[in-house]
Amino acid sequence: MSYSFDFMYEKILNNDSKYNGKFFPCVKTTKIFCLPSCKAKIPLRENVEFVFTAEQALEKGYRPCKRCYPLNSPEFYPDWMEAIEEYLVENLNRKLSDLELSELVNLDISTIRRYFKKKYSKSIQEYHRFIRLNEAKKNLGEGVDIGKVASSVGYNSVKGFKLAFKKQFGEFTNEKN
């Protein structure tokens, strides 16, 4: 993929949605990145740099624009992604199999994996674990018993749960336990 700077700058001047997901304008002054179609004020040429994946923008320290949501563009991600994401949230209490997810949206698991990797830089399982542990952290903060919290997010043992928690958040802190 090699578009010239001028080509890409022209596309953002025209808010051209055809290029959403193909490249991302990053605004050096505000540290925000956008979709080419973003309706926010067009930045001056000298303040723009372009990257080709949302990942690259994040790595460079840019934050996603709150107006065009470059990480959630419907042009960029198919509808079934949303179905999968909802399903993951609805099933925080257990691990999900590839087969189950694949059957849910009637797609090959490798396709689902590819989109996940692109959007979250994580495998489906990693992403699911990530949101399960976030939920656990929230519940622990509310004072729910650790055993209950662990099993409510799919961990049979408190020990395994604590290990996973530590891995994600760096430490396990829970005053009650």
Where on the chain is the footprint of Zn ion (CB under 5 A)? 34, 38, 40, 65, 67-68
| 67/166 with CB nearer Zn ion | 67
| 27/101 with CB nearer Zn ion | 27
**34, 38, 65, 68: which one is catalytic?**
34
- Answer yes or no: 65 catalytic: no
User: Please, what is the minimum distance in Å from the beta carbon of residue 40 to Zn ion?
Assistant: 5
Please report, for residues 49, 53, 95, 103, the alpha-carbon distance to residue 36 in angstroms, rounded to integers and kept in the order given. Answer: 12, 12, 37, 34
Reference 124, options 158, 85, 164; nearest CA is: 85
User: Please, what is the minimum distance in Å from the beta carbon of residue 68 to Zn ion?
Assistant: 3
Q: How many CA atoms lie within 13 A of 131 on its CB side?
A: 18
CA 131 to chain centre: 11
Distance, CA of 59 to CA of 1 (rounded, Å): 19
What is the number of the residue whose Cβ is closest to Zn ion?
Answer: 65
SS3 36: coil
User: Please, what is the minimum distance in Å from the beta carbon of residue 59 to Zn ion?
Assistant: 18
Q: Tokens standing for 90?
A: 């609805």
User: Please, what is the minimum distance in Å from the beta carbon of residue 64 to Zn ion?
Assistant: 8
| 48/65 with CB nearer Zn ion | 65
Active site residues per annotation:
34
